Amino acid sequence: MKPAVLKNNRADFALWSELGYRVIDRRKDRQLGCSCAVMRKRLSNEGQLTG
């Protein structure tokens, strides 16, 4: 999941950051054109091969 948080929404940004999500990109909202931070959380087993 990659949530997009509006630039001016500090409460939501703080929540997602506290949950371990980090900003990976900055884009415009598709409907309103507002600036957003696209966030992503690295999974604990990401990048590991399972057999």
Residues paired with residue 51 on neighbouring β-strands, in sequence order: none
pTM for this predicted structure: 0.74
Instruction: Please give the pLDDT value at position 11.
Output: 97
Domain map of the chain by residue range? 4-40
Phi, psi of 31, rounded to the nearest 5 degrees:
-90, -45
Asked if residue 51 has pLDDT above 70, the reply is no
The per-residue pLDDT for range 1-50, each reduced to its tens digit, is: 889 999 899 999 999 999 999 999 999 988 989 999 999 998 877 666 65
